[in-house]
Structure 1
Amino acid sequence: MIRFFRKIRLNLLSEKKFTKYLFYALGEIILVVIGILIALAINNANQNRINKNYEHTYLLGLEQEFETSRMKLKELIAVNKSNANNSRKILQYITYKNETPTEVVFSNLLYNTFSNDIAFNPNNSLLNEMINSGNLKNLSNTELRRQLTNWLSTMEDISRQEKELSVQREKVLDMFRTDKSSLRTILEQTSVYDQIGLPQSENEISNLHLLNSTAFENNILMFIFTSYATERAHYLPTMQDLESILHLIRKEIKE
């Protein structure tokens, strides 16, 4: 097409028809510009398609990660709630002296409440990779990008709160590191000794005196308060954030 215009332009020059020459020269320039614009449009369309495919892949990966994190947090909330409820039962025995538990009941309450530390370990490997590589910008939804960026700072807040909860848990356990209480009794009464093959003691030391200890009561109260704060001020709001992120991710996947 351009050769055709060039041939006409040369003929017009030879015939000294300058007005028509300028017209055809302009037409040739317009054709070149149109060709460039079409090429750019095709290239942009291909790049947008590639970016959309990348985004879809990231969204699927993020959905899987955050769904796994949601299940982990759900289980952790249940464990934290169970620990707090068991602590309240211990506090009831401290408060109401006419309801003294048996050694077995008290040992099981202590073991079930304080045997495991609590820590939320979300799946953030893909999110971290996206942030570190700058690929978070490939997500077109600005609200989703904002929430994903805030998610990591939320995890830092939760980690600090869990450390405080761990401190309160350790304060209760420290009372069994003295010669006034017996960790062995707890383990024997809960059959942990039998499971790992440790020798049984002939002289059982009772831990029921702790129910009359103000220090023990204070430690239990601090553990209850910290467990409550962990759930209400951290775990439940984080669950809401998590579900909001999942909603945005799934909405983008469908579009």
Structure 2
Amino acid sequence: MTDNRTVDEIISDFKCHDKGLILPLVNEYTWPLGARIFLYFFGLFWSFLGVSIIADRFMGAIEMITSKTTKIRIPDENGEKKEIDVPVWNNTVANLTLMALGSSAPEILLACIEICGNNFEAGDLGPGTIVGSGAFNLLCIIAVCVVSIPEGEVRRIASVKVFAITAFSSIFAYVWLIIILKASSPNVVELWEAIITFLFFPMLVLIAYSVDKQCFGRCSRTQPDMTTEKTIGFSE
């Protein structure tokens, strides 16, 4: 049976004939299936390796920046001045900005690259990757942190109010996505929605920092027992 279709019509039968940022390089639909599987797995592994190297260096740089300290002089019990090291970055601000950016950089970059190359329309990977990463952090990472505590030791939240704010914001982010994507403008993110969503982040950092500095009343902090207990902050 003779196929009278043109080459373009035959190529259109293959879903991956012209999609992708890098692969496929050419229309390899006529290549053996094994060769194509090897090519795509190699490209996937190469991409993951590159992302892991960049993310590792990026996180190392962020940790070096946020761990920077400076010396200040304070009076001791005898009235003499002594020098102590204090962190330059506030722990709350560092966790919510640079540390969160570093750990979420791969999925954020993936979403930005995809949406810019897709005529500013949501693709199959970007939004799903960000939401999946957030859900994984919220559920799986917290579960692992709880289970991994050594027997006989205790972990306590250093600032309950700051933790409550970040926990509320984590849940509110999903609720806000439902509002703007299902109720306000179904399947479309309008400009005003994008601006408000972006402004939520500096608002969260400002409120969390203010609470951490006890601007709205004394913040409840635990006093750890140095033998068996340790205090922890909060994750993103």
Same structural fold, with TM-score higher than 0.5 when normalized by the shorter chain: no
Bigger CA radius of gyration: 1
The structure whose residues are more often strand, as a share, is 2
Structure holding more helix per residue: 1
Higher RCO, 1 vs 2 (CA within 8 Å, ≥6 residues apart): 1
